[in-house]
Amino acid sequence: MIYNPFSLEGRTVLVTGASSGIGRASAIECSRMGAKVLLTARDKARLEETLRRMENPERHSVVLGDLSVEEDLARIVDAVSEPLDGVVQCAGFTTPKPFQFFSEKDIDGLMGVNFKAPALLTQRLLRKKKLRKGCSIVFISSISGVCISLIGESVYSASKGAVNGLVKGIAIELAAKSIRVNTVTPGMINTHILDSGEISEEQLKEDVKRYPLGRYGEPEEVAYAVVYLLSDASRWMTGGNILIDGGYTLL
């Protein structure tokens, strides 16, 4: 057998937001590295599409649910049938809008999905003893709110800044259990950027010029960092962050 410090063979990993983007790529790459994956998201058809793309799809399982709904959160935790070796918190969204036009409902929605839901999921998994000693928890954050912000992203930035603060605190608390907690902080990633119609193709072409490497990132490039943080290759890393932004924050 070839030595591979990044192997996830024999490990069980939960991936939220696995129906698209970074969550889908993380689930696929974890399967390729040997992990058994429990996938969760709100869209059944897209979750099943992720499953079809994974290595040995019959090894993995799917649980449908919205992390911001109490009943769904409980069902997802109950679906964890054996202690987890890894958790990848990918669920999240953004609503580009100037701060003065945000309603209380808008703020509750963004903070609820991007911060409160992954925080409560982590807490539930801990209380139910669903995390194995040596487990690695990875939160997908963003350069927005941690390194920079943009017009219309104030609340999204706040939610991601809150995630990074949470990670540093629980990393200290969980170190005694040998449970590691880290973040990956991407710049703009090629996912479904144009789907909402709020950003034009011309705006994207102009924005990409701000990246020294001349392009946006791909979901797989973030997933590779996730695999690293789940693996033994990063076993002396906790409370840390991996910045993947094509050089954006250098300028």
Catalytic residue list: 156
Which of 136, 189, 143 shows the shortest CA–CA distance to 167? 136
Q: Where are the beta strands (DSSP E) in the chain?
A: 12-16, 36-41, 61-64, 84-89, 131-140, 180-186, 241-244
The one-character DSSP state at 64 is E
Q: Report yes or no: 93 and 114 within 8 Å, Cβ to Cβ.
A: yes
Q: Report yes or no: 136 and 242 within 8 Å, Cβ to Cβ.
A: no
Give per-residue burial for 19-58: e unless 16+ CB within 10 Å, then b. Answer: bbbbbbbbbbbbbebbbbbbbbbbeeeebeebbeebeeee
Radius of gyration of the chain (CA): 17
Give per-residue burial for 204-235: e unless 16+ CB within 10 Å, then b. Answer: eeeebeebeeeebbebebbbbbbbbbbbeebe
Q: Report yes or no: 155 and 104 within 8 Å, Cβ to Cβ.
A: no
Residue 106 token pair: 């808008």
Which residue matches tokens 């649910």? 65
